[in-house]
Amino acid sequence: MPRGYAWLMTLATVPLITLLLAAIGALFALRGEGRAASGGESDVLACDAFRSDWALWAVSIVASYAPWLSANTPIFGGTKHWMTAYPFLCLFAGLGFSKVVVALRAWQPRVASPWLVGSCVLIGPIVMTLHAHPFGLSAYTPIVGGAPGAATLGLNRTFWGYTTQSLAPFIDQNAARGASVYVHDTALQSFAMLQEDGRLRADLRGSLDIAGSQLALYHHEPHMSRVEQQIWVDYGSVSPDAVVAFDGVPITWAYLRKPER
């Protein structure tokens, strides 16, 4: 993997306000800003214990990103492999938030309410989260231009075919009774769970065989483009019959096999 992959993907997927506050918190921790002002022995001991927590947070973050410190790390996945660092980033962000509130109180006491500042901090991530649902794995931060910018850069739009749920109404309305559905990147167990949950018709059969299917799904990932070409050849069509998009970016689509003339 490229050494910068994990760091750049963190920047592309974690709200900037979280990273900024984490950086502020880490800076204060590095400078030892928690040292007790009174200088008493008990205060110093309490401060040292707190600072050891900061060290633990930092070590946990470094350990989570450690594989990307080497140029020999194999390609083996994406953000799921370093997301264990995020709780510790958020702990630093909490420390940074408290320092920002203290600084604002010294500057503008009337507007430095933790509730008000907290609302300003949370509104962006909340709006982004609500906007992205149910395409959370397709969402990217404004740093890379959101979903459209990420698509232009060639970043993944989906993963493990969870977006089949968005095509469920089309599948139910258009698949013949007992039809075989090529599920592409969706695990067959996931397809079965959609049926068990009543989100897909129970008579449909999930399949990993394009040739024997009557309806084919395609979940776009750059390294899977050959799969869509195989669907084109087998189905005799390059035009999907249904497309699910997020912010104008096609995420997953479906092909219906046309009856032979």
Q: What is the pLDDT tens value at each position of the chain, 261 positions in all?
A: 888 899 999 999 999 999 999 999 999 998 875 554 444 444 444 445 457 889 999 999 999 999 988 889 888 878 888 999 999 999 999 999 999 999 888 888 777 788 888 999 999 999 999 999 999 999 999 999 999 999 999 998 998 889 999 999 999 999 999 999 999 999 999 999 999 999 999 999 999 999 999 999 999 988 888 999 999 999 999 999 999 999 999 999 999 998 876
> How far is the C-alpha of 93 from the C-alpha of 89, rounded, in Å?
6
Residue 183 in contact with residue 217, Cβ under 8 Å?
Answer: yes
Same-domain status, 210 and 117: no
pLDDT value at position 51? Answer: 79
232 domain residue, yes or no: yes
In a domain, 90, yes or no: yes
**178 in the same domain as 122:** no
66 inside domain: yes
CA angle, 134 then 138 then 143, to 5°: 125
| Per-residue tokens: 237 | 């069509």
pTM score:
0.80
Q: What is residue 261's predicted lDDT score, i.e. its pLDDT?
A: 62
Quote the pLDDT of residue 25.
95
pLDDT of amino acid 50: 53
- pLDDT for 59 equals 95
pLDDT for position 12: 95
The token pair that represents 197 in the structure block: 């949950």
Residues 185, 224 contacting (CB under 8 angstroms): yes
For the chain, how many structural domains are there in total? 2
The DSSP bridge partners found for residue 206 are 181
d(CA 165, CA 191): 9
Full domain range(s) for residue 15 = 5-132
- SS percent in the chain: helix, strand, coil, step 5: 60, 10, 35
In a domain, 138, yes or no: no
One-letter amino acid for residue 193 of the chain: M
Closest by Cα among 82, 24, 79, 85 to 58? 85
Query: At 8, which amino acid appears?
Result: L
Q: What backbone torsions phi and psi does residue 38 show, to the nearest 5 degrees?
A: -70, -30
Answer yes or no: is 159 within a domain.
Answer: no
Task: With beta carbons less than 8 A apart as the criterion, state whether 137 and 162 touch.
Answer: yes
Question: Tokens standing for 17?
Answer: 């306000």
